[in-house]
Amino acid sequence: MSAPDTIIITGAARGQGAAHAAHLARGGTRVVLTDVLDAEGENTAAVLRASGGDAVYRHLDVTDEESWAELAAELSGAKHRVRALVNNAGILRYSAIADTSLDSWRLHERVNVHGAFLGIRAIAPLLVTGGSIVNVSSTAAVVGSAGYSAYAASKAARIALTPLAAVE
């Protein structure tokens, strides 16, 4: 008996990530929900299991290399066939460019860009042949809107990262 397909979803404790997890779990895929919101993540996974889904929650700070290494080590076992990584985790703090601190700008870079990069680097070697990496971005990356400078720039970088990772 082969291991079930596993899909890792970052930022899956709530919102869009939780919706991705619910959809995939309903389809019979084993989902690994990751986030830094542990209580919400555990609850979301429990709800999915209660409805018949195969879901587990793991704490993951997408900005931390060691967190990614630990998750990759856990999933490299024979009980997992990693089919995909969904880089969904993201952060948005509204502010005009003139009011955006360098710390806020860097936070967007760490979560929205570095997090996706670290995930690709850690998980790509585990993907089965034909596996996928989905980098969730935003229309804000290509359409200007006041108050979105750090978010939009970081999501545009995520868009640029995607075809580069695919080629490699």
**Sheet of strand 5-9, all strands in order from the earlier edge strand to the far edge:** 55-59, 30-35, 5-9, 81-87, 127-135
Given the residues 57, 94, 148, 151, the one annotated as active site: 151
Where b means 16+ CB within 10 Å and e means fewer, 26-40 reads eeebbbbbbbbeeeb
The answer to whether 151 is a known catalytic residue is: yes
| Active-site residue set | 151
